[in-house]
Amino acid sequence: MSSSSGSDSAVSVTDNVRRMMRHVRLENLAAGLSGGVVSTLVLHPLDLVKIRFAVSDGLELRPKYHSVWHCMRSVWQQEGLRGLYQGVTPNVCGAGASWGLYFYFYNAIKAYTKEGRQTELSATEHLVSAAEAGAMTLCLTNPIWVTKTRLVLQYGADPSEKPYKGMVDALVKIYRQEGIPGLYRGFVPGLFGTSHGALQFMAYEELKREYNKYRQMHSDAKLNSLEYITMAALSKIFAVATTYPYQVVRARLQDQHNSYSGLVDVIRRTWRNEGPLGFYKGMVPNLIRVTPACCLTFVVYENVSSFLLGSTSKLEGRG
């Protein structure tokens, strides 16, 4: 009886996976990747500043920065434009892959959940769909984020003193010296971080739905670029204000200049040494960076996906 039950369960899981895969669209992957790459290339220097502030826990080996402008000016004076773009390769790869996979999984999960229903998804269903998409994306992209953090935190102007020459070199060295666990540092707080994306997407979907309801349009009706920017900005600010501390904890776990025994150790030491404000270090440069980045990503995504899906529909119609 247990054997039959196990077999039925396996068949059910396989059937569900097949049903979900029917809703997978490569257009969503391409559109999300485009949005992530464009926004990251434009705004990477602010991401570098955010990470340096997030890990500034008083160690003597770290440069001391008084403000966002001071940090950016110091890096520019010591290392030039190259310094402001340290870690840009894994950041572009990570952001492109993350946004592409996120939209890819999220739209597939949404369509699967809505299959056979006439009613729209609730806010909770949007939240769960986004959280599942985030967890699946993180499993594939965490090693890229570890290398980005390590590259961004290479201090000093002399390239010969830096342990990593680039993204591939960092990946290889981290794997050789720390194994798979090294490439998945910060994974647990990263999983908590899926709540950030889930809250953001839930807010974004609800804002679009309510706005289209106000316009007496279908909930998926296309908006103009300014309207997408407004929805994206509001949803991003809401998500950042709610979940920022996990990013500080994650960056500190991934930092090669300090050693923590785990998640609880980071939280305990940050609280003891810096108080509650320690968990919000770097939030201002983060908001300055992620809000326009999110707006740019969503505008590019919505327009590229609309173009690609429209082109596909026309081709299928001709076929």
Any residues with CB less than 8 A from the CB of 126 and at least 6 apart, and which? 110, 201, 202, 205, 206
In which band, very low, low, confident or very high, does the pLDDT at 156 lie, cut at 50, 70 and 90?
low
Q: Write down the residue that tokens 């998945």 correspond to.
A: 184
Please tell me which residue, 200 or 194, carries the higher pLDDT value.
200
Which one-letter DSSP state was computed for residue 277?
A: G
Q: Three-state SS for 216?
A: coil
Which one-letter DSSP state was computed for residue 121?
A: P
> Both ends of the chain: CA-CA distance in Å?
49
Concatenated DSSP letters of 156-194: SS-GGG-S-SSHHHHHHHHHHHHHHHHHTTTHHHHHHHH
Confidence check: pLDDT of 314 > 70: no
In which band, very low, low, confident or very high, does the pLDDT at 6 lie, cut at 50, 70 and 90?
low
Q: Which of 39, 122, 46 is nearest to 298 (CA)?
A: 39
pLDDT in tens, 249-278: 888 887 767 778 888 998 999 999 999 888
Any residues with CB less than 8 A from the CB of 43 and at least 6 apart, and which? 289, 292, 293, 296
Confidence check: pLDDT of 80 > 70: yes
Mean pLDDT of the chain: 82
Q: How many CA atoms lie within 13 A of 83 on its CB side?
A: 17
Least confident window among 28-37, 45-54, 76-85, 169-178: 45-54
pLDDT in tens, 198-242: 999 999 999 999 999 999 888 788 899 999 999 999 999 899 888
User: How many other C-beta atoms lie within 10 A of the C-beta of residue 123?
Assistant: 12
- Alpha-carbon torsion angle 190, 229, 215, 302, nearest 10: -70
Task: Report the length, in residues, of the chain.
Answer: 319
Kindly list the distances between the CA atom of residue 127 and the CA atoms of 5, 197, 201, 204, 245, in Å, as whole numbers in the listed order. 31, 9, 7, 10, 20
Q: Three-state SS for 17?
A: helix
What the chain holds in terms of domains, given with CATH numbers, is: 25-318 (1.50.40.10)
- The answer, as to whether pTM is greater than 0.75, is no
pLDDT at 160: 64
37, amino acid identity? V
Instruction: Report the alpha-carbon distance of residue 11 to residue 55 in Å, rounded.
Output: 47
Q: Is 201 in contact with 235 (CB distance < 8 Å)?
A: yes
